[in-house]
C-alpha cells in the first residue's frame, strides 16, 4: 500500500512538472513580453542551432527558421519576414517577442490551426491607382496600367480554376481608397481582398529592386519601416480582426511569387495602408517590383513576364483557398523551386539560386567570379532609412514622385494634414529596447475592446479552438489548380 501511494505521489509530481514545463516561459524585458527561442524550437519540434553571436537557426526535416540577434529580419522556410520587434539576447539566451510568436511565426508554421478561418469563395482584386491617379511612372508606362494588366490576368486564371474573381476597377478610372475594400461587402462572406501595385523609390533610376507583400500592422506594433511606436500604433482598425488570416494569405501568395519568378526577396512586411486598415475581409497588398529600377521596369513592361507573375499570384491565392476549405497547408518556396528546376531539366537553361535571388541561368554561370558586376544596376537590400515626425514613417516617398501616392501611405493626405495642424502626434520615441511603459499609451478602454495580442499559455494559438472547423470549410472540395 505504501509503495502504491509513493508511486501515485511520484506520478502526480511528474505530471505537474510536465504541465508546468509546457507553459510558456514569458519574460518581460523593457516593458515587453518575450519567449525564449529554445522553447519556440521545442514547441514546433525543431532543433536549435546556435550561429555564434549572430543568431540561431531552428531546423527540422522539412522546416527552417533563422533569427538574428538584435534584428527584425527573420527567415521562415527561405522567405524573409519582418518582425514587429527585434529578437534580443538576455542571460545567454535569444528571445522572440510574444507578439511575433502569435502574429508572425505561428501563422507561418501552422496556418491550418488558425481558428475561425472562413472558407474563401470569392477574390476581390484591386488594381491600385487609376484615372487621374497614375501612380509611379517610368519611360514605358504608368503604374495604374501595369496594375490593371496584372490583375486582369490573375482574374482570368482564378476563373479558370473555378473561383469567383471580381475587380475593384476593370477600366482606367479612379476609385477612392476607402471604397475599394468596402466593395467586398456586396460579394458576401468568404471574400478575400488582394491589392496589386508596382513599387517606386526616390530616384528615377534606383538600385532598389524586388518583390514585397504587405499585411496590416498588428495593434501595438510599429510598421516594418518604423523604429518607434506612436499613439497611432495602438489604434484598433477593422482589418485587425484578420491578423492571422492576413499572414496566411500573404505567405501563400509570396511563396508562389518568389518560387516561380526570379526576383529579389524584400520580405513580408507590415503597414497601415488605408486599403488594409479598412478591410472587412482578409487582405494583402502585393508590390510587383520597382518601376524606378531599370531591370525591374523592363520586366514589368514585358507582357510574358507579367503573365508569369499573374500565374504565380493566382497559384498562391488558390493555395490559400484550399487552406480555408480543406485545412491543407499551402505549398512553400522549396516546393516551387523544385518544380521549376524539374521543368527546366534537360533544357539549355538551369535553375540555380544566386545569393538569395532565384534565376534561370546558363550552366556554369553561377560559378563565375564577380557575378554581381554582371547585373545591370548595383544591388542593395533596402533603401536608406527615411523618417518623418509623424506616422507613417519610412517606406518609399511615393508622394514626392507620383501624382497621388496615398496607396503607399498609412493614412490619407487629409488625415496627415490634420495631425500636423493639431500637433497631436509625438516625435521620435525611444528605440524598442529602451522604451518603457508603452502599455500606458493604451486607451483606458483598450482591454475591454479586445486588445488581445498574444498567445495563450497552451500555445501560440488556443489549442482548444485550433482544430475546430468553421462552417462547411472541411466539406468543400479543393480547387483544381492544375490548369494554371
CATH number at residue 127: 3.40.630.40
Q: For residues 246 and 294, state if they share a domain.
A: yes
Say which residue the cell 482564378 belongs to.
158
Q: What is the pLDDT of residue 441?
A: 46
| pLDDT value of residue 337 | 86
Instruction: Give the count of domains, the chain.
Output: 2
Q: Do 33 and 171 belong to one domain?
A: no
Domain assignment present for residue 16? The answer is: no
Within a domain: 346: yes
> Do 138 and 239 fall into the same domain?
yes
Residue 22, pLDDT score = 59
Whether residue 464 lies inside any domain: the answer is no
Is 441 inside a domain boundary? no
82 with 138, same domain: the answer is: no
Cβ-based burial of 400 (10 A; exposed 0-12, middle 13-18, buried ≥19): exposed
Q: Residue 443's pLDDT is what?
A: 43
Does residue 77 sit in the same domain as residue 131?
Answer: no
Q: Are residues 151 and 35 in the same domain?
A: no
**Position 418 in a domain:** no
How many angstroms separate the CA atoms of 133 and 144, rounded? 8
pTM for the model stands at 0.74
Boundary of a domain, candidates 100, 121, 149: 100
* Same domain, yes or no: 228 and 292: yes
- 201 domain residue, yes or no: yes
The per-residue pLDDT for 457 is 43
**Within a domain: residue 205?**
yes
pLDDT tens series, the chain, 484 aa: 444 554 444 444 433 333 334 588 899 988 889 999 999 999 999 999 999 889 999 999 999 999 999 999 999 999 999 999 999 998 889 999 999 999 999 999 999 999 889 999 999 999 999 999 999 888 889 999 999 999 999 999 999 999 999 999 999 999 999 899 999 999 999 999 999 999 998 777 778 889 999 999 999 999 998 888 888 888 889 999 999 999 999 999 999 999 999 888 999 999 999 999 999 999 999 999 999 998 899 999 999 999 999 999 999 999 999 999 999 999 999 999 888 777 766 555 443 433 333 333 333 334 444 444 444 433 333 322 322 222 222 223 322 322 222 233 222 233 333 322 332 223 334 344 444 454 444 444 333 333 334 444 445 643 333 333 333 332 333 454 433 3
Domain that holds residue 64: 24-100
Statement to judge: residues 314 and 283 lie in one domain? yes
Q: Please identify, among 44, 65, 100, the residue that sits at the C-terminal boundary of a domain.
A: 100
The answer to whether residues 156 and 266 belong to one domain is yes
- Pick the last residue of a domain from 100, 129, 148: 100
Same domain, 200 and 65: no
337 within domain boundaries: yes
| Statement to judge: residues 184 and 80 lie in one domain | no
Predicted pLDDT at 31: 83
Residue 333's Cα: distance from chain center in Å?
14
Q: What is the CATH number of the domain that holds 78?
A: 3.30.457.10
Do 273 and 156 have their domain in common?
yes
Amino acid at each position: 500500500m505504501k509503495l502504491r501511494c509513493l508511486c501515485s505521489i511520484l506520478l502526480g509530481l511528474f505530471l505537474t512538472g510536465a504541465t508546468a514545463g509546457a507553459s510558456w516561459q514569458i519574460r518581460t524585458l523593457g516593458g515587453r513580453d518575450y519567449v525564449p527561442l529554445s522553447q519556440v524550437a521545442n514547441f514546433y519540434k525543431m532543433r536549435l542551432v546556435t550561429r555564434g553571436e549572430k543568431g540561431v537557426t531552428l531546423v527540422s526535416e522539412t522546416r527552417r527558421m533563422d533569427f538574428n540577434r538584435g534584428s527584425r529580419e527573420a527567415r521562415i522556410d527561405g522567405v524573409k519576414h519582418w518582425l514587429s520587434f527585434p529578437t534580443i539576447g538576455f542571460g545567454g539566451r535569444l528571445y522572440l517577442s510574444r507578439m511575433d510568436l502569435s502574429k508572425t511565426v505561428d501563422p507561418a508554421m501552422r496556418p491550418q490551426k488558425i481558428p475561425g478561418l472562413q472558407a474563401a469563395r470569392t477574390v476581390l482584386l484591386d488594381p491600385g491607382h487609376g484615372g487621374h491617379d497614375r501612380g509611379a511612372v517610368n519611360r514605358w508606362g504608368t503604374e495604374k496600367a501595369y496594375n490593371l494588366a496584372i490583375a486582369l490576368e490573375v482574374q482570368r486564371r482564378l476563373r479558370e480554376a473555378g473561383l469567383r474573381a471580381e475587380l475593384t476597377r476593370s477600366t482606367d478610372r479612379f476609385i477612392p481608397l476607402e471604397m475599394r475594400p468596402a466593395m467586398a461587402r456586396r460579394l458576401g462572406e468568404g471574400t478575400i481582398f488582394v491589392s496589386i501595385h508596382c513599387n517606386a523609390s526616390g530616384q528615377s533610376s534606383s538600385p532598389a529592386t524586388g518583390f514585397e507583400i504587405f499585411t496590416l500592422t498588428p495593434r501595438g506594433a510599429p510598421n516594418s519601416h518604423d523604429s518607434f511606436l506612436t499613439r497611432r500604433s495602438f489604434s484598433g482598425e477593422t482589418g485587425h480582426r484578420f491578423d492571422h488570416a492576413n499572414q496566411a494569405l500573404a505567405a501563400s501568395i509570396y511563396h508562389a511569387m518568389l518560387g516561380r519568378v526570379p526576383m529579389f526577396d524584400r520580405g513580408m512586411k507590415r503597414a497601415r495602408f488605408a486599403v488594409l486598415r479598412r478591410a472587412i475581409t482578409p487582405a494583402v497588398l502585393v508590390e510587383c517590383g520597382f518601376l524606378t529600377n531599370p531591370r525591374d521596369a523592363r520586366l514589368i513592361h514585358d507582357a510574358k513576364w507579367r503573365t508569369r507573375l499573374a500565374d504565380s499570384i493566382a497559384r498562391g491565392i488558390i493555395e490559400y483557398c484550399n487552406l480555408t476549405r480543406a485545412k491543407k497547408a499551402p505549398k512553400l518556396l522549396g516546393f516551387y523551386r523544385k518544380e521549376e528546376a524539374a521543368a527546366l531539366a534537360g533544357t539549355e537553361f538551369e535553375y540555380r539560386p544566386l545569393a538569395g535571388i532565384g534565376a534561370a541561368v546558363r550552366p556554369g554561370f553561377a560559378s563565375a567570379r564577380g557575378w554581381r558586376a554582371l547585373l545591370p544596376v548595383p544591388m542593395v537590400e533596402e533603401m536608406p532609412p527615411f523618417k518623418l515626425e509623424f506616422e507613417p514613417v519610412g517606406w518609399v516617398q511615393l508622394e514626392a514622385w507620383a501624382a497621388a501616392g496615398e496607396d503607399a501611405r498609412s493614412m490619407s493626405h487629409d488625415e496627415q494634414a490634420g495631425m500636423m495642424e493639431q500637433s497631436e502626434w509625438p516625435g521620435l520615441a525611444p528605440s524598442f529596447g529602451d522604451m518603457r511603459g508603452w502599455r500606458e499609451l493604451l486607451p483606458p478602454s483598450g482591454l475591454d475592446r479586445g486588445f488581445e495580442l498574444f498567445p495563450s499559455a497552451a500555445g501560440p494559438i488556443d489549442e482548444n479552438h485550433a482544430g475546430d472547423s468553421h462552417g462547411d470549410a472541411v466539406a468543400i472540395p479543393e480547387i483544381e489548380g492544375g490548369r494554371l
